[in-house]
A and B are shown apart, each in its own frame.
Chain A
Amino acid sequence: MDKDTIVISLENVSKSFDGEKVLENLSLSIHDKEFITLLGPSGCGKTTTLRIIGGFETPDEGDVYFSGERINELPPYKRNVNTVFQRYALFPHLNVFENIAFGLRVAKYKEARIVKNVERMIELVNLRGFEKRKIDTLSGGQQQRVAIARALVNNPRVLLLDEPLAALDLKLRKDMQKELKNIQRETGITFIYVTHDQEEALSMSDTIVVMANGKIQQIGTPTDIYNEPENAFVADFIGESNILDGVMLEDRKVKFSGQTFECVDAGFGEKEPVDVVVRPEDVDIVPMEKAQLRGHVTSVVFKGVHWEIIVDIDGFKWMIQTTDYCAPDSDIGIYIEPDAIHIMKKSEFSDMFGDYSSYSEEFEELSVAQPEDEEEEEPSDNAEARQ
């Protein structure tokens, strides 16, 4: 049972709903004791992937293996997997204790053992004193803990979490992220975590699987994904990126924005068109005479830790994060270190992302805050107030 053992693998899995392809030829191996995150925007197929692993959907094509055994048609109740559902799906007719004990009662455990295991879980998720409470008297955060305890108490080999923190407010979400990570470390259970929040994915995961349009775009550690995005989609979805059209002149030399830059990437064809990624925090503002590129500041927003400025360079709007203040409407020069330039092959996503000309804070907020999913939502909004 070490990290190299593969617990679950999907092989060439495809799935359609009403003729619409949701997953296309997806292959993925999940290792033992791993915290793996499926990350992507709404409709990228991440939840469907999770539901196939949980047994709630069967793949149209391809196979699912659990410890080497094919489990395509195995119903959920026969799988050594438990799920924390998106809006928890706690049983409203049972109190906290009985919700957590549900799986053990179904498995017909002895009462003493049930009490012992449930108490241990209640301890683990900090819900002591809430045993007799009705579910609808709990706040969102508390319900979330019950959902985790209800799944974990069955000691599954793999825990599936479907956007478990989506309904919580920011502060609580941050706390729960830490707590979930700790629980995963303590229990040594494999976590498969679905989210559309890239920050959440970066801070919790051992491995991130970035998905879009039913396909895996990249699999890697959080640092890999951030520093070496495979294509324009990944670069744009994870963090902020300036993505420019460029041409690879030779190994370690790339031309974009009319200038030739030193870089550290090699192995591309001569004169090959590429996508160039520069992270906003990697752009240095320098005096004009040292500048590689010159531009005009169109907007400046104070972000606390840094300023976020939009700079127009030959019609392309760059985002730059800097601790030095620049006045709006001023002209500035910028310099980019060779190792801050990341080169990617052209992909279907090229030219779709990377320019900040239509950038608007509110729009960004809206598109992130959008709770995703097909289900109707009615999380217990004022349970907190009722206490």
Chain B
Amino acid sequence: MKKKSFIEGFAAVPHVVWMFLFVLLPLVFVVYFTFTGADGKFSFDNITNLSRYLHIFLLSICFALIATTLCLLIGYPLAYFMSRMKPKTQKILVVLLMLPMWISLLIRTYSLMAILDNGGLFNTLLESIGITRVHIVGTPGAVILGMVYDFLPYMVLPIYTSLSKLDNRYYEAASDLGCNGAKSLFRVAIPLSLPGVVSGITMVFVPSISTFYISQKLGGGLFDLIGDTIEREFQNKSTYNIGAAISLVMMVLIIISVAVMNRFSEGDENERGIIV
């Protein structure tokens, strides 16, 4: 018994080292920089000065919420219909959904920008059928579109997973008890796939709120989101500490929202959604 636990402990060493080096240590650095000034002395200034960035926080939260809601509205029906297809069709659809995720997010976003640009494919197409060009890149819509496009699979997959695990007999029982398709959806499918919905929301909301590339490319540099701000502050040696402070606050915000989300699926302890 003792020997086994020794081996087990030994096997865990690389993981512990990894976690220490790449998770714990950076966190310590973030906390350290947050509470020190540019001169290296302890101070609360970084935190207290954060009110300057309040509008950036609000804008980011706002964008992320809209993108998450849109992903949910598009993603749930998609996941639902996928789960009701024949197994073979389901497999093909899952592959199609995953396919864009095999391409780097940066490339995807950049190509979206190229397509939507004033001289891009989309506008050329519009013009060729006699419609005037639409200015898209540089609008809030373009940023949100980019987030939805990039993160939609993260919404669909967990929901699809919980729906496809749902036994068909629940649908049969609902139908037996008087539910037509829509009533089965609202009374059985949605409540039983809630864990998937919760992890889907988390998996879309978290990257949406912290993204910087999407807003830079599709927002035409007009929208400063948290991610952009952190990137900028970290690139400048003198504002390193501000960047750390913003990161820390955002991390706390995300932890709070994830904790709140997980409350929703409290009941299903065995099937709680994936926590990002």
Residues of A within 8 A of B (CB): 54-56, 75-77, 81-83, 85, 87, 89-93, 102-103, 105-107, 150-151, 154, 375
Select which of A85, A93, A106, A150 is within 8 A of B172 by beta carbon. A85
Question: In the complex, are the beta carbons of B173 and A91 less than 8 A apart?
Answer: yes
A218 → chain B closest CB, angstroms: 29
B244 → chain A closest CB, angstroms: 43
Smallest CB gap from B178: residue in A: A106
Smallest CB gap from A79: residue in B: B176
Residues of B within 8 A of A (CB): 167, 169-170, 172-180, 183, 187-188, 191-192, 194, 267-268
Question: In the complex, are the beta carbons of B180 and A85 less than 8 A apart?
Answer: no
Given A106-B177, A150-B177; A92-B192 close (CB under 8 Å): yes
Question: In the complex, are the beta carbons of A106 and B187 less than 8 A apart?
Answer: yes
- Tell me, in angstroms, the Cα distance from A153 to B183 when the chains sit together: 19
- Tell me, in angstroms, the Cα distance from A87 to B175 when the chains sit together: 16
Mostly helix, strand, loop or mixed at chain B's interface?
helix
Question: In the complex, are the beta carbons of A75 and B180 less than 8 A apart?
Answer: yes
Smallest CB gap from B270: residue in A: A136
Which residues on B sit within 8 Å (CB–CB) of A375? 167, 169
Which residues on A sit within 8 Å (CB–CB) of B188? 91
Select which of A89, A102, A151 is within 8 A of B169 by beta carbon. A89
Question: In the complex, are the beta carbons of A82 and B177 less than 8 A apart?
Answer: yes
Given A85-B169, A375-B169; A103-B191 close (CB under 8 Å): no
Given A85-B172, A89-B172; A106-B167 close (CB under 8 Å): no
- Tell me, in angstroms, the Cα distance from A224 to B182 when the chains sit together: 47
Given A93-B191, A106-B183; A54-B176 close (CB under 8 Å): yes
The interface centre, meaning the residue of A82, A89, A105, A154 with most chain B CB atoms within 10 A of its CB, is A89
Question: In the complex, are the beta carbons of B173 and A85 less than 8 A apart?
Answer: yes
A99 → chain B closest CB, angstroms: 9
Give 11 A-B pairs besides A56-B175, A77-B178 with Cβ atoms closer than 8 angstroms.
A55-B175, A77-B176, A77-B179, A77-B180, A89-B167, A89-B172, A93-B194, A102-B177, A103-B177, A106-B178, A375-B169
Question: In the complex, are the beta carbons of A154 and B172 less than 8 A apart?
Answer: no
A195 → chain B closest CB, angstroms: 18
CB-defined A-B contacts under 8 Å, sample of 25: A76-B175, A76-B176, A77-B175, A77-B178, A77-B180, A82-B176, A85-B169, A85-B173, A89-B170, A89-B173, A91-B170, A92-B268, A93-B192, A93-B194, A93-B267, A93-B268, A102-B174, A102-B177, A103-B178, A106-B177, A106-B183, A106-B187, A150-B177, A154-B177, A375-B167
- Tell me, in angstroms, the Cα distance from A259 to B209 when the chains sit together: 93
Question: In the complex, are the beta carbons of B172 and A56 less than 8 A apart?
Answer: yes
List the 4 closest A-B pairs by CB distance, nearest first. A103-B177, A89-B169, A89-B173, A106-B178
B225 → chain A closest CB, angstroms: 37
Which residues on A sit within 8 Å (CB–CB) of B179? 77, 106
- Tell me, in angstroms, the Cα distance from A75 to B169 when the chains sit together: 15
Which residues on A sit within 8 Å (CB–CB) of B175? 55-56, 75-77
- Tell me, in angstroms, the Cα distance from A107 to B177 when the chains sit together: 9
- Tell me, in angstroms, the Cα distance from A154 to B267 when the chains sit together: 28
